[in-house]
Amino acid sequence: MRAYGAAFAARQIPVNRVVSSEYYFVWQHAEAAFGEPIAIHRDLTGSLDFRDSDELAASLQGLRNRTVTAPDRGASTVLFTHQVEFDKAFGHYPDAGETIIFRPDGTGTPRVVAVLGYDDMMALLDTP
Q: What are 76-85's pLDDT values in tens digits?
A: 999 999 998 8
What pLDDT shows up at residue 64? 94
**Sign, CA torsion 67/69/70/76:** negative
Q: What are 14-64's pLDDT values in tens digits?
A: 999 999 999 999 999 999 999 989 999 988 988 877 889 999 999 999 999
What's the rounded Cα separation, in Å, for the pair 45 and 80?
9
Domains of the chain, by residue range, sit at: 2-126
Q: At what angle do helices 2-10 and 24-34 cross, to 10 degrees?
A: 30
Q: Give the DSSP letter string of 3-29.
A: HHHHHHHHTT--EEEEEE-SSHHHHHH
CATH classification number, 2-126, choose in 3.40.50.1240, 1.10.540.10, 3.50.50.60, 3.40.50.10610: 3.40.50.1240
pTM: 0.88
What pLDDT shows up at residue 128? 67
